[in-house]
Structure 1
Amino acid sequence: MNPLFLAHGSPMLAIEQNEYSEFLQRTGAALKPDAIVIFTAHWETEAVTISSKDDEYETIYDFYGFPDELYQVKYPANGSSEVAALVGELLTGSGIPVAYDHERGLDHGSWTMLKHLFPKADVPVVQVSVNPYRTAEEQFRIGEALRSLGSRNILLIGSGVTVHNLRMVKWGQEEPESWAVEFDDWLIGNMNKRDTDSLFRYEELAPHATMAVPRAEHFVPLYIAMGSGDPANAPKVVYRSYQFGTLSYLSVQF
């Protein structure tokens, strides 16, 4: 079960039928995981915090100003305290402190995509927080600690966006801005070369890094997913497009 970094984009993804939602539907139909562990850009904590519950999650609408239809969507997945405990054991075994949360629901970094991937909500979900202030290498090590999840038929998903600067979006523009493409090209090139040293130094080496990643919360799930992949597997770009000129939907399997 190869880990994935998936772009969650706009919350409207949950109710849209477009090329990307169709990609998610095809992807989910081809996968049969026993559980999902998803790192979401919309849950930030200092320590890695793991949702640990067995009952149904609340659907959190952590956004404003969208159509009423979006606030009616439910994603009634259950959690798994057993898988949460496994994630915690793997992380603490690698020297990474964890905390557990027994109440929080699924935020839109999780459910807007999961609704298309597994529409029946019949796969247990364990949601995990991110800390954008950790270094890129520390994010990678979090993923590395969870590398064995794939061999247990557990799907790890990093949910974020590589180019995410809402001040730079071009509403209505279909063609991507060149700087956004160049940033993603740099990422893809260095992932293909397995040049983690350069990837860990993206802030100083990647073109347009400050514009692409003004704040790292949406970016770090990429490094977690990357770290959790089998080093014997070549990274594979499974989807790529842009919305509003700059918002990247680059998605990668590791």
Structure 2
Amino acid sequence: MIKPLFLAHGSPMMAIEESEYTNFLNSLGNSIKPRAIVVFTAHWTTETLTISASDSIYNTMYDFYGFPEELYKIKYPAKGSSAIAAKIQNKFIKSDIDVKTDLTRGLDHGTWTLLQHLYPKANIPVVQVSINYTLPIEHQIKIGDAIKELANEDILVLGSGNSVHNLRLVDFDSNTIDSWAKEFDDWLIEKIENKDINALSNYRKYAPHANLAVPTAEHLVPLFIALGSSFALTPRVIYRNYQLGNLSYLCFEF
């Protein structure tokens, strides 16, 4: 069984930097050997859940601007898998989840910046799935639950986002952690470890500083999908750090 993960993708600069976090990703990839990877990425938002269903090599998307030229030269030439995409589509349909497929979209930076460090050879099939961050948290968990059996087929379900993601409040000169960001993550960890689904589903009401930490939900939703796809009795934090004052690199294994 391969347990689902929620990993922070942070800044695109991660792709060309060596850091404590990228070293962690390198080690994590060496310890997990999936036969395929399903990525729910914060950077693909659609009204209807959409699955990349091509067998071709993906284009590498540069869905950002203003970064060093070196970043725009990186390629992550992973292939898709129409067979696994069809398997996922059928599981969603059986769970009454609206879904469609896509044959042309490339890998966005929510996917390839992580996979480049996890699996640098790009030799594992990748199926990228969109999110609709306007849906209730209970529905996000249902999406994950629909595909939880993939863990028994050695398929890694990966949610890519950030628990605290407010680019208006990042501080490029900061060497400290903003207390509000830490307090939000502390609350999130406690509720996840206690499997308090009611509190998590109503995090905007109960979590401290929720509107600061999550001005829009697209970067948090992949966490709830990964949580929903888990069999684990004890979800656990596998990495935690911060950059720019409040950009969270909190990661979970479910």
TM range (shorter): over 0.9
| Aligned equivalent of 1:242 | 242
Match of 1:134 in 2: 135
Per-residue deviation, residues 174-221 of structure 1 (Å, max 9, x unmatched): 211000000000000011111111110101000000000000111100
Report SS of the residue matched to 1:167. coil
Cross-structure match for 1:72: 73
Tell me if the contact between 1:158 and 1:222 (Cα under 8 Å) persists in the aligned partners. yes
Q: How does 1:154-193 map to 2 (within 5 A)?
A: 154-193=155-194
CA-atom RMSD in angstroms: 0.6
Alignment partner, residue 37 of structure 1 = 38
Equivalent-residue separation in structure 2 for 1:14 and 1:205 (angstroms)? 35
Distance 1:194 1:41 in 2: 23
Normalized against structure 1, the TM-score is what?
A: 0.99
Query: Is residue 2:4 matched to residue 1:3?
Result: yes
What percentage of residue pairs aligned between the two structures are identical?
A: 55
Residue 55 of structure 1, CA deviation: 1.2
Report SS of the residue matched to 1:53. Answer: coil
Q: State the distance in 1 between where 2:139 and 2:68 align.
A: 38
Aligned equivalents of 2:223 and 2:102: distance in 1?
Answer: 23
Residues of 2 paired with 1:228 and 1:174: CA distance? 36
Q: Which moved more, 1:171-180 or 1:64-73?
A: 171-180
2: CA distance between counterparts of 1:174 and 1:190? Answer: 28
- The alpha-carbon deviation at position 27 of structure 1 amounts to 0.3
Match of 1:148 in 2: 149
1:21 maps to amino acid: T
Q: How much does 1:233 deviate?
A: 2.7
Aligned position for 1:251:
251
In structure 2, C-alpha distance between the alignment counterparts of 1:171 and 1:196, rounded to whole Å: 35
Q: Quick one: which amino acid aligns to residue 73 of structure 1?
A: I
Q: Runs of 5+ in structure 2 lacking a partner?
A: none
Q: Post-superposition shift, 1:170?
A: 1.2
Q: List per-residue Cα deviations over 1:140-183 (Å, max 9, x = no partner).
A: 11001111010010000000000000011111212110000000
Q: Which amino acid aligns with 2:25?
A: L
Equivalent AA in structure 1 for residue 243 of structure 2: Q
SS in 1 for 2:43: strand
Aligned 1:76-115 pairs, distance under 5 A: 76-115=77-116
Q: Is the 8 A contact 1:174 1:242 kept in 2?
A: no
The DSSP-based 3-state class of the residue aligned with 2:168 is helix
TM normalised by structure 2 equals 0.99
Per-residue Cα deviation, 1:16-58 (whole angstroms, up to 9, x for no partner): 1000000000000111100000000000100110000111000
Distance 1:170 1:13 in 2: 17
CA distance in 2, matches of 1:204, 1:21: 34
Report the Cα distance in structure 1 between the residues aligned to 2:106 and 2:51, rounded to whole angstroms: 12
Q: Deviation per CA, 1:47-89, whole angstroms, max 9, x where unpaired?
A: 1100001110000000000000000000000000000001101
2:224 aligned with 1:233, yes or no?
no
The number of aligned residues is: 253
Determine the structure 1 residue equivalent to 2:217.
216
Letter in 2 for 1:238: I
Amino acid in structure 1 at the alignment position of 2:103 = H
